Structure 1
């Protein structure tokens, strides 16, 4: 991880669509105040304004604010007018400047619904965001909104096009197991690891015919196993990798640069003496010649993106947020990962994200440190 760069330099290029003669508060100031307010524990426009009024002198160190603090209605209206695509591009460029992905790093891609954005009275569906997550350092690299008339399959290639993922291993769940997505990843000089399920029926059937539980005792390919015990539960993970793709028949030629097929078997017991077991079997294809341990570690790393979603819900109360109108819910959804990355990058204060947000609210020096501008 390289030194974090102040993101506000990237947000200055976002176009302001308001009439020039009627602008009292700069767009860059509104974005700055929103980020600082969210960093300090506020999850509503009103809360952001409360922060601004109490920390006006602090904000003037970084912005203009000649006309003071805008109202909550002004902030909400301006954020709703702003191009969320431009905000997305600014965020991705910021991450590209401050975060260098290591060769072979796992980049997990997964979607999350912002449940509080659903509005029954307006017949407005909850917005759904696709996140790209660098698992080694726990940083969100970028997002894409899934539009009402599209799905993740359509939006993932668009997100991948914006990211610099050369040399990385991109992991996606079964929804993203599509030839076009695999080709896009290969075109970006990266490798894919895609989960196989019912949406690729013939491929799943070929895996099912190939796999047999006896492989856990005797397997001609590469294998690796781990075992963890936590809270009275014992979990065993077994990874099997086969590079002889002849078992897939002609299906192997349908996938770009396909080099290995993998099987992950998870066995859970409530205790060492439990007689019943909960077993799950997952199938994978990859353009990389994976070892069994690499498959094991990559599939475990993928689920770290769920930890990011969990933090957004628990520490930022994303699902409880009732911001809905225009593009305001999407704008706020894009601000949260900015704040999460800033908070996670600050290593000096030993505490969780909630405590770091409270520290930002109480200590201007710490907030400056989090912003990376000091």
Structure 2
């Protein structure tokens, strides 16, 4: 984060980064905001959030998406927790997201409840805004990290020393951006097309002078 100025931006993160030190670092040192997802692996914090007086939540938001063969309905409630004894640095608001999913191909239905804890006030982030913040994280996850792992087998890479992992991650991201800029929505198909002429087509894609 050193080369960037995160002042005023909202940093989203899943459970791995839902840490007290991370919250303090973002708010107190970088003057940024956070919106962290809380799941059952954080037992104490999850228990605190589940026990909040959600029946008193007047701020609600309803959302529905139909994509990737899955219909998903979301009900989002938000509570201001500044005076409710939530043990997390700078926490001001918590959202409860109840998701109902229906897989169209299999008919399988599932239900999941997750919590989002943030230092953003209700004026800065309504339940609808919190929903957009959380979903933006997964858009990035699906478009970048998921593709790098499944298409480029990044997690299986044996390159683990020095600057090798960082350099390879940069090259994979560069390849993804180049393919998308050339109009390839399906990265696997784009790589396959490049392989038909592994010398000329990549050079044409990059547009060398």
Fold-level similarity (TM above 0.5): yes
1:255 alignment counterpart: 89
Determine the C-alpha separation between the residues in 2 that align with 1:325 and 1:286. Answer: 34
3-state SS in 1 of match to 2:145: helix
**Pick aligned residue for 2:119 from 261, 272, 287:** 287
Asked whether the equivalents of residues 49 and 86 of structure 2 are also in contact (C-alpha less than 8 Å), the reply is no
Cα pair distance change 1:353/1:232, threshold 3 Å: closer
Asked whether the equivalents of residues 239 and 292 of structure 1 are also in contact (C-alpha less than 8 Å), the reply is yes
1:92 alignment counterpart: none
Cα pair distance change 1:169/1:265, threshold 3 Å: same
Greater relative contact order (Cα 8 A, min sep 6): structure 1 or 2?
1
Asked whether the equivalents of residues 269 and 277 of structure 1 are also in contact (C-alpha less than 8 Å), the reply is yes
**Pick aligned residue for 1:242 from 79, 87, 92:** 79
2:63 alignment counterpart: 226
1:189 alignment counterpart: 31
Q: 1:76-118 deviations in whole A, cap 9, x for unaligned? A: xxxxxxxxxxxxxxxxxxxxxxxxxxxxxxxxxxxxxxxxxxx
**Number of equivalences:** 196
1:316 alignment counterpart: 152
Ranges in structure 2 where 5+ consecutive residues have no aligned partner: none
More helix by share: 1
**Pick aligned residue for 1:303 from 111, 117, 138:** 138
1:180 alignment counterpart: 21
More strand by share: 2
TM alignment of 1:1-374, pairs within 5 A: 160-186=1-27, 187-198=29-40, 200-210=42-52, 215=55, 220-230=57-67, 233-247=70-84, 249=85, 251=87, 254-256=88-90, 258-270=91-103, 277-289=109-121, 290-307=125-142, 308-319=144-155, 321=157, 323-324=158-159, 326-327=161-162, 330=165, 331-344=167-180, 346=181, 348-357=182-191, 358-359=193-194, 361=198, 362-363=200-201, 364-368=203-207
Which is higher, the Rg of structure 1 or of structure 2?
A: 1
Cα pair distance change 1:318/1:291, threshold 3 Å: same
Offset at residue 224 of structure 1 (A):
0.7
Determine the C-alpha separation between the residues in 1 that align with 2:160 and 2:93. Answer: 46
Determine the C-alpha separation between the residues in 2 that align with 1:351 and 1:231. Answer: 14
Cα pair distance change 1:176/1:318, threshold 3 Å: closer
Q: TM-score, normalised by structure 2?
A: 0.75
1:12 alignment counterpart: none
Determine the C-alpha separation between the residues in 2 that align with 1:337 and 1:232. Answer: 27
Ranges in structure 1 where 5+ consecutive residues have no aligned partner: 1-159
